[in-house]
């Protein structure tokens, strides 16, 4: 029986084959989000932010409902990669636009349902991926006045009030790709 650490490289291989993956794209493992209260098992940052939650044979889907809502607030696409024992419950509990992958005990992986674009993203939660310097750069690039003494949450709120989702999303994607490309 594979554990999440063993499933992750299999999932990365599947993503690299099934989705567009260029040299400038990055995989991010264990990415914290929603004020560090949640953690995505794997994120693929290419032209969009795609998140994957892994549920191994030893896991349950008890926390998935809350995790799913958090994922939907932050990512362009959301996938649940689960062991075959969880498949029926996964299909029942996933929102219709969440993709479902199944993994077996022999490192096999299959797509059961393709993810669809997420329209439930929240600008404030999306800005939570940015460090203070990245928030300040976004504000400066778009003429949003902020002060160095402003709390990070205040700056995030100001940016959300002033900028469209597309501008915030592009900056978050570029910032994450730059940050994690340096770590690879």
Per domain, the residue ranges of the chain are 4-113, 123-181
Task: Calculate mean pLDDT across residues 43-54.
Answer: 95
Number of H-type helices and E-type strands within the chain: 7, 6
How far apart CA 39 and CA 70 sit, in angstroms, is 10
CATH 3.40.50.300 fits 4-113, yes or no: no
What are the angstrom distances between the C-alpha of 154 and each of 93, 95, 158?
A: 35, 32, 6
In terms of Cα–Cα distance, which of 89, 53, 48 is closest to 71? 53
Task: Calculate mean pLDDT across residues 5-10.
Answer: 93
Identify the burial level of 96 via C-beta atoms within 10 angstroms of its C-beta, where 0-12 means exposed, 13-18 middle and 19 or more buried: exposed
Residue 184: which pLDDT band, with cuts at 50, 70 and 90?
A: low
Record the tokens describing residue 38, joined without a space. 């949640």
What are 61-104's pLDDT values in tens digits?
Answer: 999 999 999 999 999 999 999 999 999 999 999 999 999 999 98
Q: Is 97 left (phi over 0), alpha (psi -120 to 50) or beta?
A: alpha
């Amino acid at each position: 029986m594979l554990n999440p650490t063993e499933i992750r490289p299999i999932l990365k291989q599947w993503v690299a084959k099934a989705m567009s993956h260029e040299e400038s794209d990055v995989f991010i493992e264990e990415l914290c989000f929603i004020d560090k209260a949640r953690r995505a098992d794997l994120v693929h940052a290419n032209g969009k932010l795609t998140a994957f939650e892994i549920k191994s044979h030893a896991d349950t889907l008890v926390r998935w409902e809350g995790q799913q809502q958090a994922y939907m607030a932050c990512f362009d696409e959301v996938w649940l990669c689960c062991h075959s024992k969880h498949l029926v419950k996964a299909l029942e509990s996933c929102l219709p636009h969440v993709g479902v992958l199944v993994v077996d005990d022999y490192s096999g992986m299959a797509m059961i349902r393709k993810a669809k674009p997420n329209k439930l993203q929240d600008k404030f939660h999306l800005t939570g991926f940015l460090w203070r310097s990245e928030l300040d750069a976004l504000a400066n690039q778009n003429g949003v006045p902020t002060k160095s003494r402003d709390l990070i949450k205040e700056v995030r709120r100001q940016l959300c009030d002033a900028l469209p989702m597309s501008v915030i999303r592009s900056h978050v994607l570029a910032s994450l790709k730059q940050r994690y490309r340096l770590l690879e």
